[in-house]
Structure 1
């Protein structure tokens, strides 16, 4: 199992701010998240799939 990524790590990968990532999450347009004890985390495979889905 891959380690889950933090919002800070994902924001760095995507080159966006953490508040932007939060807005995307609330709008349902960002990468899929899981909650662990109320904390948002990202699965690396889901993030990669989401990024591929953003291609035009």
Structure 2
């Protein structure tokens, strides 16, 4: 039996690098409700990599 590997959550900087957009764009998308889904972990904003990839795939459609 194999144990599932959980991918670590991404920071704003990591998502910014992955999408090649400025961090300020991610904050603006979050404010407008148009960007990838993010969650607060304490006072930090984190993104599930699967959500970011799914959002990106939806944008291409």
TM-score, with structure 1 as normaliser: 0.93
In structure 2, how many angstroms separate the alpha carbons of the residues matched to 1:28 and 1:39?
A: 18
* Structural mapping, 1:27-46, within 5 Å: 27-46=32-51
Runs of 4+, deviation exceeding 2 Å: none
* Structural mapping, 1:13-32, within 5 Å: 13-32=18-37
1:51 to 35, 44, 56: 56
In structure 2, how many angstroms separate the alpha carbons of the residues matched to 1:38 and 1:50?
A: 23
TM-score, with structure 2 as normaliser: 0.86
Unaligned 5+ residue runs, structure 1? none
Would you say how many aligned residue pairs link Structure 1 and Structure 2? Answer: 56
RMSD: 0.8
